[in-house]
Amino acid sequence: MNPNTSQCLQWLADTRQLPSPNFNTRPEGSEVSLLVIHNISLPAGEFGGGCIEKLFTNCLDCDAHPSFADLRGLEVSSHCLINRDGVITQFVPFNQRAWHAGESSFQGQSNCNDFSIGIELEGTDDCPYTASQYQALHQLTLQIMAAYPAITPDRIVGHCDIAPGRKTDPGASFDWVYFKGLLA
């Protein structure tokens, strides 16, 4: 299936959609072939409160918390966020390029945003993810893999794998063995 056709999965059905302005068109001929798993919490180590959604939609009040000062003017997004309860929010259609990976490389190919889908888990590197998050990530990953068959289990990576030394997420708390076992 050509990833640039309208037949590919773009928006999830029956999922909260909160469109982000932080995306653009993938380069001509790019094939969606990588799934990148991230983590995020705002403020760091705190869950809930809607700050992640506000960040991804450029609505975060950077004066609301001292740690938000570094986020002023930042334009980032991910395709989806899975909160601690396993609720999925989609920000960018899968066929578009979300701004989640930054400077990155996978198997010698740079600019991973060009060919990847980014999924954020509400969490931190050292706080275990919830069973609800793993279940939602499992179901979401199966949908994505069905629509984008170039994404295979060996092409599902952490942000740390495509930006080593710069990023550490999803961190040691993410159970890769368990998650990959769900996909088997």
CA nearest neighbour of 95 among 156, 28, 15? 28
CA gap 166, 104 in Å, rounded:
9
Pairing of strands 105-106, 109-110: antiparallel
| Active-site pick, 31, 46, 103, 120 | 120
Which residue bears the tokens 């890769």? 176
Provide the residue type at 163 as one letter: A
CA nearest neighbour of 47 among 80, 79, 84? 84
Q: Is 120 a catalytic residue?
A: yes
Between helices 176-183 and 131-147, what is the axis angle to 10°?
50
Q: Which residue blocks in 148-175 are alpha helix, DSSP H?
A: 159-162
CA nearest neighbour of 20 among 125, 118, 98? 98
List residues with catalytic annotation. Answer: 120
